[in-house]
Structure 1
Amino acid sequence: MGPGELFDVLLAGGRRADRATHVRHLPAREGRRADWPDWADPDLVRGYRALGVERPWEHQVDAADAAWSGRHTVLATSTGSGKSLAFWLPGLSAVRRGAAGTLLDPGRIETVRRRPTVLYLSPTKALAADQLAGLERLLTAAGTRDVRVATCDGDTSRDERRWVREHADVVLTNPDFLHFAMLPAHSQWSRLLSSLAYVVVDECHAFRGVFGAHVALVLRRLRRLAAAYGAAPVMVLASATTSDPAASAARLLGVAAQDVHAVTVDTSPAGRKTFVLWQPPELPGGGGPWASLLPDEDPWATVVPVPRRDLHAADPGDDDATDDVPTSGGATPPDVTAAQPAAPEAGEGSGPLGTGEDVVALPQDNPRRTATAEVADLLADLVAAGARVLAFTRSRRGAESVAAATRDHLAAVDPTLPSLVSSYRGGYLPEERRALERAIRAGHLRALATTNALELGVDISGLDAVLIAGWPGTRVSLWQQAGRAGRAGAEGLVVLVAREDPLDTYLVHHPEAALDAPVEATVFDPGNPYVLAPHLCAAAAERPLRTEELELFGDRALGLLTELTERGILRRRVSGWYWTHAEPASRMTDLRGAGGQPVRVVETATGRLLGTVDAASADATVHPGAVYVHLGATYVVDELHLDDGVALATRRDVDHGTWARWITSTAVVDVEREVVWGPVTWCYGQVDVTTQVVGYQRRRIPDLQVLSTHELDLPARTLRTTAVWWTAPPEVLAAAGVTLEAAPGALHAAEHASIGLLPLLATCDRWDLGGLSTLVHPDTGHATVFVHDGHPGGAGFAERGFGLGPVWLAATRDAIAACPCATGCPACVQSPKCGNGNEPLDKAAALRLLTTVLSHAVGTPS
């Protein structure tokens, strides 16, 4: 069934035709083949041919040739274009050639050489496991038994690690294991490091923001130690299509851009793809199925009370590309409260509050059905028509509710169909996720409702359609998710379903903004002193840092080492800088800033591990009395032991769900710097963002009637970080012509726009920042806009913004003024991760307010 026929299924005989706001047909692309390189190992070539790859694509050969010749290489092509072959062909060929060389004359000592080794790094354990399975299939097809491949990460036992250290030719792991285990104990890994021929960095576009800066420095430490053991590995990077991949790869590796060979022309075939932008219908009277009322919000979104009833509740959904990596974004329907636990990544767009007070943000007169409910309907229709589909949601709860609602719809059609649909998300056990991946590949499942856990390169091909519930936040993510449809040259259907959010609404009515704009660059700053300093300590602990090695760590390294020495953290000797403390230096930093170990959800009666929940969202999702949904089965949490990281739950069929209620506050801890611009105050300092779950509601399903309200006594969680903020006293608002009614929208819009512009000046990612706007903040006494780092202790971005205050605000004002939209759009004041659904926003008032503020600023550029 082609995309045209599937699209007809979605239109339901024309009854839904008005919901498709735009249909774009992306033409098919012919593939271009190339011959196998002469240097390629013939057994491996035979193995690939046995798996159906008669000849490789041109871009695969281009990248493989560059890597084989010794050039650092980045391959940035679309999902399903066969990037794995490009790095495994040279890597495994080198291993096999080296293995054969050691056997040429085993009786002569001068011929003894170590076998080349390959290190593979991925952002997720799931991707490494998927690559291991692919390698085993290839080596079996090739009939080779002389290449030893193994994964090694935090879950690997001590005995298995010993075998890997002593015998493995190819080691698949992640940057976290490299940072915490391999590099600090490098002497135990000397066999691997001294023979390191290739380092593969897969899905490198995922290494962005502060996480990207950490990974860049881990890679520098790896290259430094490899050089100390006499190795100079070729770095091969695979990426989604991004802006300027050569520059991003060079920054990740710490080399010049001209030293990286970039392959960006995709020569694999692509089937015709139909891309549909879709807006759910208005709800008459605001009613609708229960699934349409479930929130799509994100656990990192800032609290925004939007009262409609006496008590507001929300579910902290959580986007997750992995079990370890939190991501920001999300939005909240007008009748719930979203919140941000004290976590490393911050939400944005708290609207006019941010201090836990109540203020009305009026909802639309005619609310629309949520993307969650609409996607469940569309998914059921596609599955009933025989299609194989992925439905991407914004949260774990969204994935569970889409799967449940879809199964309910299908049960009314055919009792055999519900078993063909499942959910897939972070928090499942690894074996459960592998089983689901195998089932969707084999066709035992027709559909998965998933978080962005399946966005990265786990190989799931042959899908007919992809449904995307809400704008995923970046165009890179949009095309990654869309690339799952029609892989391997087949036709595919992609449907982006808008949430009830002005940003989503804008995008589905302005297709050029979603489909024609260039993809984003991967932004991160390895020179960030907040990130660089602990890695310099880790490097010194691994091997004393010498002056000639500092170039690898950038221009700021010498100054930071001097400061670290003066503070007694490092010791300077003629031979270099030394770490002299008993505790491991690697413990000074957490690459992902995960906010603690995940909380394990355990079945009380059996002791069986059900899954895990991120520590930052555990209070709101597995508190006592919470209903926990796992693969469609419901459990009620009996006890939450935060100190032990365990939640005990009992299997129970219930007719209700639970929605947590919490409060948040932001307090100025210390004003470290302050500049007075007439009536305006421009400040930098430390702030505490404190969140506390205070209760929950039990709501009956499906009508969501409140059954009971319960209080909870859980500890407050505080994120101490750094922020930059400015105040606008009443006379400034009056001079700008901003009335009391317009002020919340003006402040909120100015906050969004300034967060969107700071990455241009501070080399950060929007997801590294949080924001807050309030009409009267208790610590300043005036209308205030905060922009804060979303990482414990700060990451230097707010400090950079403070130093460039007038330049930053002028750029913000100019960006708003230059945007041709009438009332605000994603290019100026709307945010992809606003916790208040981009309400209220007043573009015109924000422009007047920023202009007035800048009229007082010292050093404002013309």
Structure 2
Amino acid sequence: MQSGTEAVVQKARGKRKRKDNQGGIADSGNGEDSSAGGQLGNDDTSDSQKSTNARKRTAPKKTASALNRTESAASSVTCNVDWPDSFKALEKTHRALNLVFTFCCTRKHLATTFETIRSAVESHTKKVLTIEDVASIAAVRPEGVNFAYIDEIMLQTEVRGAERDVTFKAGRDFRSQAPAPDASVGGISGLEKLDQHPDERVEGGKEVLYFEFVDGDLKRQVKDKKTGEITKPNRKLREETLKIPVYSQKQMTNLIERRNQKFIDAMNVFINQCISDNLDPEQALSKAADAFIPVPTAPEDPPEKNLGALPESIPTERKSIPEIVQELKDSLWYTGQIVPDGHRVFEPQEAVYGDLNFLLSQDLVNALYNAKGITQFFAHQAEAINGLLEGQHVVVATSTSSGKSLIYQLPVIHALEKDYHTRAMYIFPTKALAQDQKRSLREMLSYMPGMEDVLVETFDGDTPMKERNAIRDEARIIFTNPDMLHITILPQEERWRTFLKNLKYVVVDELHYYNGQMGSHVSFIMRRLRRICAAVGNRHVKFISCSATVANPKQHFKTIFGIENVRLVDFDGRKEFLCWNTPYRDPGDPASGRGDAMFECARLFCQLMLRGVRIIAFTRVREQCEKLVTAVQQELESIGRPECVNRVMGYRGGYTAQDRRRIESEMFEGKLLGIVATTALELGIDIGTLDCVLTWGFPYTIANLRQQSGRAGRRNKDSLSVLVGDCFPTDQHYMQNPDELFTKPNCELQVDLENMLVREGHIQCAAYEMPVRPVEDAEYFGQDLPQICEERLLRDAMGFYHCHDRFRPIPSRFVAIRDTEDDHFAIIDITHGKNEVLEELEASRATFTIYDGAIFLHQGSKYLVRDFQPDKMMARVERVKVEWTTTQRDFTDIDPIETEAIRRISGSLSKAFYGTIKIQQNVYGFFKVDKKKRVLDAVHVDNPPVIRYGKGMWLDIPKKALQILADRRLHIAASIHAAEHAILSLMPNFVISLPGDVRTECKVALKEFAKKESQRKRPGRLTFYDAKGGASGSGISTKAFEHIDHLLQQALKRVEECYCENGCIECVASELCKENDVMSKAGSQVILKAILNMEIDVEALPMGPEEQCPAGLETVIVAQPVPPKDRNNLRLIDIKEEEFEDQDTVLLEDAEVWTGNE
């Protein structure tokens, strides 16, 4: 029961709200939506540059609705008695606080801590300012004041701001230009106290007492650099982002007066209520103020994830997908996000049941019912199982998770019933999938009398060494991945001989994953497995696979395993698909640009989750994954559903094995309502009954989108897939043309069995496992195996071939089947004195993720990098509560350094070059950015560059092309970028490859369109390099180099024949690139024609600058010749020796003719 004082306070607030409701005038546009469900990303309502999340001690958290913030002087409240003297003094204190705080808000470097503002307030009031005084003010107007202890680091972006702003007042290019020598003036890394030298170490966890008014906002203005007059900033705030804001005297005066009147009204309401309830106002206020006295609190540990039953507010049975979609459309926040023709419904195939051609034991029938509730089989399940028992291999193609596990499990258990020595191997591309299926199979076996103790175990990189021997010798079923089969099982075939001899079923899930170069590796691993099984007398192994919907599942299955006699089974369930576009920042004004897709995803995620929809959201990269987890958790808090916060978790690479297992278990048990994942979970893991897939931004290819979409849908239940459009050109292309997402044919999976780099590596591995017999083993490795053995292996006296010495001692260690890294950085959590490994980070990501002062994201929490030690491969981090994240300032240079081969372009003097490529990544600083993507601070760091090497090809652009582009004022960098994309898009036509297997140096708008001259000039060159394969490359760019003539000709043809005006994804834009705005279609034709030595109609070219490529200072210089690796071994293709001798001279002459300044 409430005390009398508490009742007075509550009644006073209620009266004030009712009065506010009658007042009718909103304060400065700061009203908030108080409707059910809430609104994500409410407007910033503080006077300072940002509002800080406060932590009060006992006062209950109150939602600041629009009614709380719509008071005005026109709706003043009167009091029938004189104020007590203490109330008059408090009003005077409020006026002084108001004046001082508003002044500090106009000085970005003045943080309004209690200690900072105390003396200024006391000079106005002529009395000591106490914490109790401020708490009393907060008690009277709790919705307008924030008074609490906060992490000191929250204030560090406010200090020394004036000096920093002067240093970093660059225009549009401020993100991409290297910093000036004195760029660190005023910049702080997050390691500095407010009053200490920047080089001294800061103690973690310190809090300061912070004060702010949160009931009004000074509108940011800037000075015109020519006239000096105060003006409004540009819409995009490009040039004003880091300038010192200025505020007019009238604006400040109005805000001060309005706030003072609100306080007087609140005091009058409070006194009137006290008189009405026969209470002493002074005593009532003193007691109420106690709840608003801040208490320092150390940061809390993240909540433990020992989750119990789901909150009662979550429906146990969700509505149908059509009903839920209609509810979303009827929501107050829905503004037409579903694009025209962007809502599609795919009806399911009719549910048809089938029968098995053999009898199951009663024990197995009972287990099916008890574990899965199955009393009959769907036709596609019966067809697949019957095919296996008839001696066929089976591939199941489905766009939904439609009971495929049963096809994997039932034949294996049936075989174990008949022969206890039977072995089975489940091969999954990821550890998560293996854990998921193992759990499901163990449950089935637990209901089988006499089979409860059948050993079913995981054998992967996380398996302790001491347990591996027992698993190998005793397990009947193992769950593993291609890597372990390649590195451990096959090279140790003698130890695994019993297992392999009794191996009856090999399950290879997610067959579509094995595509491109990874597919080539797995194809040969499967051939090595079949070869060894045959050698030990086992020619009866049956292969079972499941694939997402692709164009050629049966043929792909045959290619991967090298077998015939394959039965294809396909089935689809009901699915709805939404193309959901992020609204404009200013509704109805396209010029304002799209809003934040992350907040749109978070709101949609929460609204679906709270309706009982089991949801998974896919992001493209790890950083997005962590940011979306944070945004979802904040949205749940903001709409009053904190009990659901710990029901959302992230799942991505880098987590420790223990964390992965825990998350996987909670997913499967249904304790989690939502998952935010990268492609680590794209591959069909069973997280219970998954209802919805939400994809943040177009996932690079339609194939990826369809595979992600297929994760939702379970047996007869309907499902939903949502693609949320981001601001990038590719996303918006599909938002405007959604039909392409549904009508483009399924991609054909490509596996190159002729790639000699891959092929030889696996032949060497096979020779190590068991000597190669060229004629007999040709069925596994190709008809030219005898010739390869003669050239690359070692022959013994018996005519058998063995592994070459250069691949010893263990060849599989030299043949990497995917781009994994051995070097990892340990991220160590030191919060509250802990010393625990939070996660591990690949070395290639470290430079861009961990540096002194960086904010590292993990499961929605923010960790400050306190101590980065690259030499020890570790970083110490401490959890903090801050309202900003960090974004690195970096650039990457792709440069050829050694020429190994030269090829003449047919009919042209131009040449293509092949050789070693240097990829150098540089991080030279970072920004502190708030949730509205505003830059709060710019910090310089001195990190060494990350350098790696690969193989690739390049073409130097002729001088005449550069001159024409300069004369016509066509953006040279944009022209190069467009030409590179056009060539890249056609490589799969000549070389079996996937998007992203070969990459180029993309041009960044912030640099290329800058008004300030860049010191980082790049050579006029088209460069392409293998993204995989390490220093030796993957072999893809080698084959592209061999077809360069046709590549150039077809690229030019595609650009010329495309009907678009300025470039699209059908010609020069790329789905994989985020910088498609740096693109000149006309300029790309000039470059391609010049390389091919074709006539260029200069007068027909547009005169620039083009609308989409604003004129900037030139960033391209003439390419210099790349020295040969070895002149004696240089391959000259269609080039005479004397021509090669002259090439350096020709290139140098080109450099002298065109300077780029004409």
Shared fold (TM-score, shorter chain, > 0.5): yes
- 2:862–2:879: 8 Å Cα contact kept in structure 1? yes
Which amino acid is 1:756 matched to?
S
Query: Separation in 2 of the partners of 1:810 and 1:778?
Result: 34
Structure 1 position 367 matched with structure 2 position 669: no
The residue number in structure 2 matching 1:282 is 584
Alignment-derived partner of residue 517 in structure 1 = 744
The one of 614, 621, 624 equivalent to 2:852 is 624
Question: Structure 2: 5+ residue runs without aligned partners?
Answer: 1-318, 1096-1132, 1135-1158
Q: Tell me which of 497, 522, 533 is aligned to 1:190.
A: 497
How far apart are 1:679 and its partner, in Å? Answer: 4.3
Name the CA shift for 1:856/1:811 in 2 (closer, same or farther; >3 Å).
same
Q: Deviation string for 1:347-395 (max 9, x for gaps)?
A: xxxxxxxxxxxxxxxxx95331232221112223333444332222222
**1:91 equivalent in structure 2:** 412
What is the distance in 2 between the residues matched to 1:761 and 1:471? 26
Q: Which has the larger displacement, 74-83 or 440-449?
A: 440-449
Mapped contact 2:435–2:458 kept (Cα < 8 A): yes
Supply the AA of the counterpart residue of 1:584.
Answer: I
Q: 1:571 Cα shift?
A: 5.0
Contact 1:460 1:484 in 2 (8 A): no
CA distance in 1, matches of 2:333, 2:772: 69
Structure 1 residues 535 and 698 mapped into 2: Cα distance closer, same or farther (>3 Å)?
Answer: same
8 Å Cα contact 1:634/1:654 also seen in 2: yes
Task: Give matches, 1:408-557, under 5 Å.
Answer: 408-414=634-640, 415-547=642-774, 548-555=776-783, 557=785
Give the match's secondary structure for 2:720.
Answer: strand
Higher relative contact order (CA 8 A, sep 6+): 1
Task: Give the deviation of 1:201 after TM superposition.
Answer: 0.8
* Structure 1: distance between partners of 2:614 and 2:1018: 57
Q: Residue 772 of structure 1 aligns to a residue in which SS?
A: coil
> Would you say the 8 A contact 2:667–2:688 is kept in 1?
no
Map of 2:338 onto structure 1: 20
1:318-364: per-residue Cα shift (whole Å, max 9, x none)?
A: xxxxxxxxxxxxxxxxxxxxxxxxxxxxxxxxxxxxxxxxxxxxxx9
Where do 1:747-762 residues align within 5 Å?
Answer: 747-762=976-991
Q: Would you say 1:244 and 2:564 are equivalent positions?
A: no
Matched letter for residue 1052 of structure 2: R
1:127 CA drift (Å): 0.5
Check 1:462–1:73 CA distance in 2 against 1; reply closer, same or farther (3 A cut).
closer
Q: Could you give the per-residue CA deviations for residues 155-181 of structure 1, whole angstroms, max 9, x where no partner exists?
A: 112332111111111111011111111
Is 2:429 aligned against 1:123? yes
CA distance in 2, matches of 1:608, 1:736: 57
Question: In 2, Cα distance between the equivalents of 1:460 and 1:400?
Answer: 19
Alignment correspondent of 2:801 = 577
Percent identical: 29
Q: Quote the offset at 1:777 in angstroms.
A: 14
> Larger Rg: 1 or 2?
2
For the residues of structure 1 that align with 2:977 and 2:1083, how far apart are their CA atoms?
Answer: 10
Aligned to 2:566: 261
1:595-606 maps to which residues of 2 (within 5 A)?
A: 595-604=821-830, 605-606=833-834
Does 2:438 align with 1:132? yes
Residue 927 of structure 2 aligns to which amino acid in structure 1? Q
Specify the code of the residue in structure 1 equivalent to 2:554. A
Residues 42 and 241 of structure 1, relative CA distance in 2, 3 Å threshold: farther
1:681·1:726 contact (CA, 8 Å) conserved in 2?
yes
Instruction: Choose which of 510, 533, 538 in structure 2 pairs with 1:203.
Output: 510
1:397 matches 2:623? yes
| Aligned residue in 2 for 1:801 | 1040
Distance 1:42 1:755, change over 3 A: farther
1:832 aligned to 2:1062?
no
Please name the residue that 2:151 is paired with: none
Matched, 1:176 2:413: no
After alignment, is 507-516 or 666-675 more displaced? Answer: 666-675
* 1:282/1:200 CA distance change after superposition, 3 Å: same
Q: 1:531 to 1:740 in 2, by over 3 A?
A: farther
Structure 1 CA distance for aligned equivalents of residues 982 and 798 of structure 2: 49
CA shift at 1:137, angstroms?
0.9
Give 1:28 shift: 3.6
Conserved? CA contact 1:26–1:274, under 8 Å: yes
Q: Matches of 2:378 and 2:652 in 1, distance apart? A: 33
> Which digits, 9 at most, give the CA deviation of each residue in 1:778-807, with x for residues without a partner?
999963212211121211111111111222
Matched position secondary structure for 1:523: coil
Count of aligned pairs? 756
Matched, 1:167 2:474: yes
- Name the amino acid aligned to 1:455: E
Which amino acid counterpart does residue 394 of structure 1 have in structure 2?
Answer: R
Is 1:43 paired with 2:345?
no
Tell me the distance in 1 between the aligned counterparts of 2:503 and 2:725. 47
| TM-score normalised by structure 1 residue count | 0.82
- Code of the residue aligned with 1:230 in structure 2: it is G
Equivalent position of 1:301 in the other structure: none
Residues 620, 773 of structure 1: alpha-carbon distance in 2 compared, 3 angstrom cutoff:
closer
Q: Deviations over 1:208-251 (max 9, x none)?
A: 22222112121111111111111121222221111101221122
Q: CA deviation at 1:813?
A: 2.9
1:715-756 superposed Cα distances (whole Å, 9 cap, x missing partner): x33232221222322313567999442433332222222212
Residues 74 and 260 of structure 1 are in contact (CA less than 8 Å); yes or no, is this contact kept in structure 2?
A: no
The correspondence for 1:783, drawn from 1020, 1044, 1047, is 1020
Q: Report the alpha carbon displacement of residue 540 of structure 1 after superposing the two structures with TM.
A: 1.4
Would you say 1:690 and 2:949 are equivalent positions? no
Change (3 A) 1:83 1:497: same
Aligned counterparts of 1:638 and 1:616: Cα–Cα separation in 2? 20
In structure 2, what is the Cα distance between the partners aligned to 1:703 and 1:731? 42
Q: 1:840 and 1:38 mapped to 2: Cα distance?
A: 63
What is the aligned counterpart of 1:657 among 885, 891, 905?
885
CA drift at 1:521: 1.9
After TM superposition, list the pairs within 5 Å mapping 1:328-339 onto structure 2: none
Determine the structure 1 residue equivalent to 2:1140.
none
TM-score w.r.t. the length of structure 2 is 0.62
Question: For residue 1027 of structure 2, what is the amino acid of its counterpart?
Answer: G
SS in 2 for 1:488: coil
Q: Which amino acid aligns with 2:862?
A: T
Hey, what's the Cα distance between the residues in 2 that align with 1:742 and 1:12? 47
Residue 696 of structure 1 deviates from its aligned partner by: 2.8
The alpha-carbon distance between structure 1 residues 67 and 384, as it changes in their structure 2 partners (threshold 3 A), is: closer
Task: In structure 2, give the amino acid aligned to 1:840.
Answer: V
More deviation, 20-29/649-658:
649-658
Matched, 1:846 2:1076: no
Q: Distance in 2 between matches of 1:440 and 1:9?
A: 26
Instruction: Find the counterpart in structure 2 of residue 768 from structure 1.
Output: 997
Return the letter of the residue paired with 1:797: I
Deviation for aligned residue 1:758 = 0.9
Matched residue of 2:351: which SS?
coil
Q: Are the counterparts in 2 of residues 667 and 779 from structure 1 also a CA contact under 8 Å?
A: no
CA distance in 2, matches of 1:663, 1:781: 12
Q: Deviations over 1:461-490 (max 9, x none)?
A: 433432211111233322232233343322
Residue 168 and residue 685 in structure 1: after superposition, are their counterparts in 2 closer, same or farther (change >3 A)? same
2:876 maps to which residue? 648
Q: Does 1:2 align with 2:320?
A: yes
Give the drift of 1:7.
2.2
Partner of 1:306: none
Q: Per the alignment, in what secondary structure is the counterpart of residue 595 of structure 1?
A: coil
CA deviation vs aligned residue, 1:790-827 (integer Å, no higher than 9, x gap): 12121111111111122222232333445454443333
Q: Does the 8 Å contact 1:72/1:260 carry over to 2?
A: yes
Paired amino acid for 1:71: Q
Distance between the aligned counterparts of 1:544 and 1:175, measured in 2? 22
- In structure 2, what is the Cα distance between the partners aligned to 1:141 and 1:819? 62
Distance verdict in 2 for CA 1:397–1:34, change over 3 Å? same
Q: How many Å separate the matches in 2 of 1:777 and 1:629?
A: 32
Alpha-carbon deviation of 1:514? 1.0
| 1:46, distance to aligned residue in structure 2 (A) | 2.9
